[in-house]
Amino acid sequence: MNKIIMTLGVASSLLTTPTEKDGTEVYYSTQLVYAMNNIEDMKEWIIQDVKNNKIDSEYAEFYFETLDETQGFIQDFYNKQCK
């Protein structure tokens, strides 16, 4: 659970947009790719936690829904702003 919270915190901090002095926003596409990779890692951890009876499968389903939604937001942003 702590891994999930920490990784979501890191992912959300990566989505903040640094601004240049002239007001131009800078996006770092590599950070978004790392954030998406972190979400995939978190999904693997959840699967292992369910197998090891550390979390209930219902909670795991909620976590997967939230991670899928977050990954979709990141992917959409990446596709629109970074390609």
| Cα 23 from Cα 12, distance rounded (Å) | 21
What tokens does 10 get? 């890191």
From its phi and psi, is residue 17 left (phi > 0), alpha (psi between -120 and 50) or beta? Answer: beta
pTM above 0.85, yes or no: no
N-to-C CA span, the chain? 33
Q: pLDDT averaged over consecutive 10-residue blocks of the chain (83 residues)?
A: 62 57 68 93 97 96 97 91 77
Per-residue model confidence (pLDDT) at position 60: 97
Cα gap 2→33, rounded to integer Å: 22
Residue 44: other Cβ atoms inside 10 A: 9
